[in-house]
Amino acid sequence: MRRGFAGGRRQLIAGILSLAGALAGCKPEGGADGKKTEGDTIKNPAICHWDEDCIKPGTICQDGRCDVGTRTPEQKAAIQALRDKQKAKAEAEAEKNRPPGPNEGRLWFRVCPFYKKTPFAVAEITATNKASGQQFKMRLEEVLRMDELRSEFAFPKVPIGDYEVVADYGIRDGAGDKAGAQMVRLKCDKKAKPCRDGLIREVTVVPVDQEPPEKKDAKGATIKRPCDWIAE
């Protein structure tokens, strides 16, 4: 009994000494002083989008994670150019989706019987402000989904004032998104007034709160606006 206890005690002491030796032989991660060096990786790295999201000195954002590293001046310039491009795109999208302001309104128009988006059909509406000469363009194929058709459209916001508006229809000629020389100018609907030279609709844009209300039929359905141009 005593002999068994002594043997167990020797095994326990041997185990403790073995563990102590293993701990003494462990080296800190990284260099001799335990600090990270370039090329090392960080365990459980923080999620990031840009380098400044990585708060630990000497780390940069790589593949969405903070890791040890540095940037060359060329890399910094390329990243800044990308950020500037993304910012400009976001600002343009915000401006596009912004509702009309105090001195802006919507320019409505209708192409009859309708415009249908197909792989080949293209249409461009151009509105020119008479006072400033500023032009606004809308490509109808960029507004609709494939095979969708519609007759009524609107420039979502333009400065209030008088405009000259024309509509060009055509067939894509195979040169990318450009319709080339296949475009023709649509004629105004006979009832569309005023219309200069049979092609140019003269339209006045007013603030949104001054737009006339939609007209309803006897069943309460919205009556479409009069036609501006006829697509024959």
Percentage of the chain beyond pLDDT 70 is 78
Q: Encode 137-167: b = buried (16+ Cβ within 10 Å), e = exposed.
A: ebebbeebeeeeeebebebbbbbbbebbbbb
pTM of the model: 0.62
Give backbone dihedrals phi and psi of 105, rounded to 5 degrees, phi first: -150, 180
Selected residue with higher pLDDT from 184 and 41: 184
Structure confidence at residue 95 (pLDDT): 82
Residues near 102 by beta carbon (within 8 Å), at least 6 away in sequence = 207
Mean pLDDT, the chain, rounded, equals 82
Coil/strand/helix, residue 182: helix
**Residue keyed to tokens 């019987």:** 113
**Residue keyed to tokens 């004032």:** 161
Structure confidence at residue 43 (pLDDT): 64
Structure confidence at residue 168 (pLDDT): 94
Residues near 123 by beta carbon (within 8 Å), at least 6 away in sequence = 111, 115, 139, 140, 141, 167, 168, 169, 170
Name the band, by pLDDT with cuts 50, 70 and 90, for residue 174: low
Residue 40 clears pLDDT 60, i.e. is over it: no
Going by C-alpha positions, the residue among 145, 151, 155, 128 that lies closest to residue 230 is 151
Give the tokens for residue 169: 């229809």
Residue 18 clears pLDDT 50, i.e. is over it: no
Residue 173 clears pLDDT 50, i.e. is over it: yes
Over range 114-133, report the average pLDDT: 94
Over range 165-189, report the average pLDDT: 79
Name the band, by pLDDT with cuts 50, 70 and 90, for residue 27: very low
Residues near 68 by beta carbon (within 8 Å), at least 6 away in sequence = 36, 37, 38, 39, 40, 41, 42, 58, 59, 60
Residue 48 clears pLDDT 50, i.e. is over it: yes
Going by C-alpha positions, the residue among 54, 231, 218 that lies closest to residue 63 is 54
